[in-house]
Amino acid sequence: MDRETGPVMLSDKASGDKAAVSAGPISSSTEIKLTAAEFRQISDLAYQRFGLDLKRGKEALVAARLGKKLRKLGFQTFAEYHRHVLADATGEALIELIDALTTNHTSFLRERAHFEFLGRAVNEEFREVSTLRVWSAACSSGEEPYANAMASSPARQFRIVATDISTRVLSTAERGVYPVSRFDEVPEDWRRAYLLRGRGESNGFYKVKPQLAQQVEFARLNLIEPFPQRAPFHVIFCRNVMMYFDKPTQQNIVQHLAGCLERGGYLFVGHSESLTGVEHALHYVCPATYRNQKPEGGSRLWR
């Protein structure tokens, strides 16, 4: 997901009162209808497995997004597709469902203030840290963790773990190849230091240099499932994701994230998000920025 990070649900203007919504034609003369019961089946599945809160009013979105999948697989009803997803022991159909229901919008240095804050923290708050540990949760197609690596380097050693629920976007992230236009906000000195410009067939693209890319570890993770045990992180980015969860799911995720932070570590959420109404032990620092316990004596980075 995530999203730099996170899934962005497409907007729609559908009414939740309709009994059936068209998914579009299978052929020029055939349409698939999404019934109210089928919508409940799919929305319940999305919530139970991924925490996605598909409220009434999202029927047209579900019909349009999954209708493409139905036509491709040859199913005649959404109920048939639902049974197919449940019967797939590999879990791939379930991942394809979440990919179809979400889209990953991201860019390099999206919400730039967070990276500027991280750069200051590296040089001030964490100046005594030998290896900076950063987690990019809901990393999408990789722009966020690579930007984290650029902001952290070359001040000291660092290790970045980048996770997302989508195997599709993780595949793109691991390649580390992006159109030149995605780097419009990246400073020229960063481009020279951390990127390789493509030539020939790769003209118009940048590739993240191996020495930077090898510091980023990608892995699939569903944020509503138990987190693997690791050394606590100094910084966690979990941005533009929690807005798609209901409050109980948000609370569960934030408490897990807080438990993965070092004392004095930072959690960044999206600037359109807040933790208002979510119980947690983190301290508010500035918009979209929280800290795990304020250190004795304060800090120059506290606002």
Q: Position 171: which residue type?
A: S
> Is 239 annotated as catalytic?
no
Q: What's the pLDDT score for residue 132?
A: 92
Q: Mapping DSSP to helix (H, G, I), strand (E, B) and coil, where does residue 117 land?
A: helix
Q: In the chain, what are the domain boundaries?
A: 7-104, 112-291
112-291 is a CATH 3.40.50.300 domain = no
Q: Which of 2, 53, 99, 164 is catalytic?
A: 164
**DSSP codes of every residue in 125-169:** TTTT-SEEEEEETT-TTTHHHHHHHHHHTTTSEEEEEEEES-HHH
Q: Answer whether residue 302 shows pLDDT above 80.
A: no
Q: Answer whether residue 154 shows pLDDT above 50.
A: yes
- Burial class, 118, CB count within 10 angstroms (exposed 0-12 / middle 13-18 / buried 19+): buried
Q: Which of 2, 3, 53, 65 is catalytic?
A: 65
Does residue 156 contact residue 130 with C-beta atoms inside 8 Å? yes
Residue with tokens 């597709």: 81
Q: What's the pLDDT score for residue 98?
A: 83
- Burial class, 177, CB count within 10 angstroms (exposed 0-12 / middle 13-18 / buried 19+): middle
User: Count of residues for the chain?
Assistant: 303
Q: Answer whether residue 3 shows pLDDT above 90.
A: no
Most confident of the ranges 7-21, 119-133, 187-201, 270-284: 187-201
Q: What's the pLDDT score for residue 174?
A: 96
Q: Locate the DSSP E strands across 63-149.
A: 103-104, 131-136
Q: Answer whether residue 195 shows pLDDT above 90.
A: yes
Mean pLDDT, residues 118-141: 90
Residue with tokens 């506290």: 302
Q: The domain at 7-104 falls in which architecture? A: Orthogonal Bundle (1.10)
> Is 49 annotated as catalytic?
no
Q: What's the pLDDT score for residue 86?
A: 95
Q: What's the pLDDT score for residue 277?
A: 86
Q: Answer whether residue 12 shows pLDDT above 80.
A: no
The mean predicted confidence, pLDDT, of the chain is: 84
Q: What's the pLDDT score for residue 10?
A: 32
Q: Mapping DSSP to helix (H, G, I), strand (E, B) and coil, where does residue 233 land?
A: strand
Element (H, E) at 175: helix 167-175
pLDDT tens digit sequence for 76-103? 999 999 999 999 988 889 888 988 887 6
Mean pLDDT, residues 265-286: 90
Most confident of the ranges 84-88, 91-95, 273-277, 297-301: 84-88
